[in-house]
Amino acid sequence: MSDLRAELTEILDEAEWEWLIPHVQRDAVILVAPDLNLLDVGVAIASDNIPSVEQWIDQQLITKPTTVQVGEWNGDRSKRFNTLIVQPYVLVKEIVSA
């Protein structure tokens, strides 16, 4: 498991909204709540930890972006996200401006 976490840590990145649009269009983006650790979610999905993933879905801590969110992000193309690719998904966590 630690090898998987190390591997995912290597591909953890930051992306502008503009770069994520094609992934949203193919319904591959999963929005991770601010309370959750992006790496924890990535490890759980990559290792098929179904109980954790189901719990996060039930609690709406991991969701698909809503039409409203996509509209807001389209209005701010410089919006940035922390990202983690766990095929076939792109996990994103909104970077909130201070």
- Encoding tokens for residue 36? 């959750």
Q: Is the pLDDT of residue 2 over 70?
A: no
Task: Say if residues 75 and 6 touch (Cβ distance below 8 Å).
Answer: no
How many domains would you assign to the chain? 1
Mean per-residue pLDDT of the chain: 93
The DSSP letter of residue 29 is E
Residue-range definition of the domain harbouring residue 60: 2-94
Residue 80: in which H helix or E strand, if any?
A: strand 80-86
Q: Is the pLDDT of residue 1 over 70?
A: no
Task: Say if residues 46 and 12 touch (Cβ distance below 8 Å).
Answer: no
